[in-house]
Amino acid sequence: MDNMQKQELASLTLTQAAGLLAKGEASSSELTKLMLDRIAASNNNAYITVNAEAMAAAEAADARRREGGSLSPVDGLPMALKDNFCVRGMKTTCASRMLENFVPPYTATVAEKLADAGTVLLGKVNMDEFAAGNATDTSYFGPTKNPRDPKRVAGGSSGGSAAAVAEDTAYFTMGSDTGGSVRQPAAFCGVVGLKPTYGRVSRYGVVAFASSLDQVGPLNKTVEDCALTLSLIAGRDPRDASSLPNPVPDYLAGLKGAEGLKGLRVGVPKEYMGPGIQAEIRENVKKLIADLQTAGAIVEECSLPQLEYALSAYYVISSAEFSSNLGRFDGVKYGYRAKSYDGYDDMLRRTRSEAFGDEVKRRILLGTYTLSAGYFDAYYLRAQKARTLIMEDFRRAFSQYDILLTPTTPVTAWPLGTAFEDPSKVYAMDLCTVSVNVAGLPAISLPWGTDREGMPVGVQLIGPTLSEDRILQAAHGVEALSLHNYGEGRGQKGGGVHV
């Protein structure tokens, strides 16, 4: 296989690669070896841990296929998990010094489901420390670079997941999304990222950031791949009390390209098209609106006035839950413990102070502050009430529209090492994504052109509760328009990635 062929093989979509395996034109071992070589050659720092058993798993998949006993259409396809998914016997670091050597004795439900489908785990990918961040620059193991321009951030917190898909070192990856952590890096790296309805995919075994907002989601090369991946992981998990019992529809059935856009009622919340959004991104969205109309969709501007408060509500709720969830890291049962200390309390303080990074500390402090006596009502309780109003806003909007269209991010990927004036400016970058988590809704981000410097622009489609099939259908239509507009290469202009 020459380099050209290898590049071609690596850049196949999940669906295409599955086709090759089915036809016997490639083996899981070949694809897995290819991915491992590319991981080793990459300078983007997408991976934290490479699975030493990956080749063995690939060989087992090939053996199953030879014997006609494939577990699923994706049996043998190599993928990666964000490093907050627990996998028995494999390090799960959450990109923190705290868990640098933590080897969980149990496996996350989603990781189990993917293993049951026969996919090959290549390894664990980089993220912001404990998922607190939006640029994968708070990782204890260093930032992940954006494969589209290694001088820029990959986004976060699932930056490694997005980068691995963009640099073709995995056919798909899993991430987790608390305030945009799947969709924003997907947008920054020019890939597809889905945040399902809260409760659609099990959270069991995924290290929690903010329990009432967290949702697991896939990152893919195409919408079709995304639909396929979602069908592998969705569904009720008796180990997660918040997991929804509703049956899982056939997500692939409704995909019909631009056809699927006919008659679609699309609302465009004006709150996410204001001056806070980079002008080129607004231009791209306007272009999409025009294309959608041409394709037969009905597109209107709409207003969700409470969205203005979503960012505030989000940061209050997520920090509170974060501070609570991170209390367990105390140097007693697992994880880091300070080397020297004087007594239990000192051990506790030193352990936490030495092993948590700045951003994690900042959010723990913020969360503790807003929960502490005298502030609970002003912050946490108000945030939860705001949450009620935000959900009502969405409900009203969905009585008029099938989906809502917004930019995924206010800006495109910023240069690594950008000094923001203060953390609140970084938090404001989550403007368009957090409301979806606050309301527990499903949303997808997919590439829609680039900015002037060639950095991908992501657009977000939001649907009502459990409308993953609908937003996938719409996204499939948008993807078709993108191919038409921006040419080959999975809807990305140029498509040249730096490995």
Binding segment (CB under 8 A) for another protein, from list 2-10, 18-26, 118-126, 204-212: 204-212
What is the distance between the alpha carbons of residues 457 and 448, in angstroms, rounded to a whole number?
A: 5
Options 424, 453, 488, 496; binder of another protein; rule CB under 8 A: 424
Retrieve residue 133's tokens.
């961040």
* Residue 334 sits in the site that holds another protein (CB under 8 A): yes
Site residues for another protein, 427-466, by CB under 8 A, read 427-428, 437-440, 465
Binding window for another protein (CB under 8 A); candidates: 39-47, 151-159, 378-386, 471-479: 378-386
Q: Does 135 bind another protein (CB under 8 A)?
A: no
The span of 21-29, 182-190, 313-321, 476-484 binding another protein (CB under 8 A) equals: 313-321
Q: Is 33 in the site for another protein (CB under 8 A)?
A: no
Q: For residue 395, state whether it binds another protein (rule: CB under 8 A).
A: no
Residue among 172, 188, 272, 379 that touches another protein (CB under 8 A): 379
Token pair belonging to 368: 């503790």
Catalytic one of 27, 96, 157, 202: 157
Distance CA 180, CA 408 (A): 8
To another protein, the closest distance from the beta carbon of 162 in angstroms equals 21
CB of 340 to another protein, least distance (A): 11
In the residue annotation, 312 being an active-site residue is answered as no
Binding of another protein at residue 382 (CB under 8 A)? Answer: yes
- Residue 22: count of CB within 10 angstroms of its CB: 13
446, containing H or E segment: strand 443-450
**Token pair recorded at residue 59:** 């060989």
Smallest separation, CB 458 to another protein (Å):
23
| 407 makes contact with another protein (CB under 8 A) | no
Of 29, 82, 158, 202, the catalytic one is 82
**Per-residue buried b or exposed e for 428-464, using 16+ beta carbons within 10 Å of the residue's own CB:** ebbbbbbbbbbbbbbbbbbbbbbbeeebbbbbbbbbb
Taking the least distance from each CB to another protein, the nearer of 238 and 496 is: 238
Of the ranges 8-16, 78-86, 219-227, 411-419, which one interacts with another protein (CB under 8 A)? 78-86
Interface with another protein (CB under 8 A), residue from 380, 398, 401, 448: 380
- 208 lies in the binding site for another protein (CB under 8 A): yes
Reading the block at residue 305, the tokens are 């006035």
Kindly state the tokens that stand for 5.
């062929």
Q: In sequence order, what DSSP letters do the residues of 166-220 get, joined into one string?
A: HTTS-S-EEEEESSSTTHHHHHHHT-EEEEPPTTTB--TTBPPSSTTT-EEEEEE
Contact 217, 174 (CB under 8 A): yes
Choose the stretch contacting another protein; rule: CB under 8 A; options: 3-11, 315-323, 452-460, 483-491: 315-323
Q: Which of 24, 68, 422, 452 binds another protein (CB under 8 A)?
A: 422
Collapsing DSSP to helix, strand or coil, 291 comes out as helix
What's the token pair of residue 381? 């309780």
349 binds another protein (CB under 8 A): yes
Helices (H), 275-414: 279-294, 310-325, 344-355, 358-371, 382-400
Residue type, 321: E
Residues of span 358-377 touching another protein by CB under 8 A: 361-362, 364-366, 368-374, 376
Active site residue 399: no
**Any catalytic annotation for residue 157?**
yes
Reference 154, options 8, 299, 58, 43; nearest CA is: 43
10 Å CB burial of residue 16 (0-12, 13-18, 19+) is middle
Closest CB to another protein among residues 184, 325? 325
Residue 291 or 321 having the CB closest to another protein: 321
User: Between residue 210 and residue 249, which ones bind another protein under the rule CB under 8 A?
Assistant: 210-213, 238-242, 244
Residues with a catalytic annotation lie at 82, 157, 181
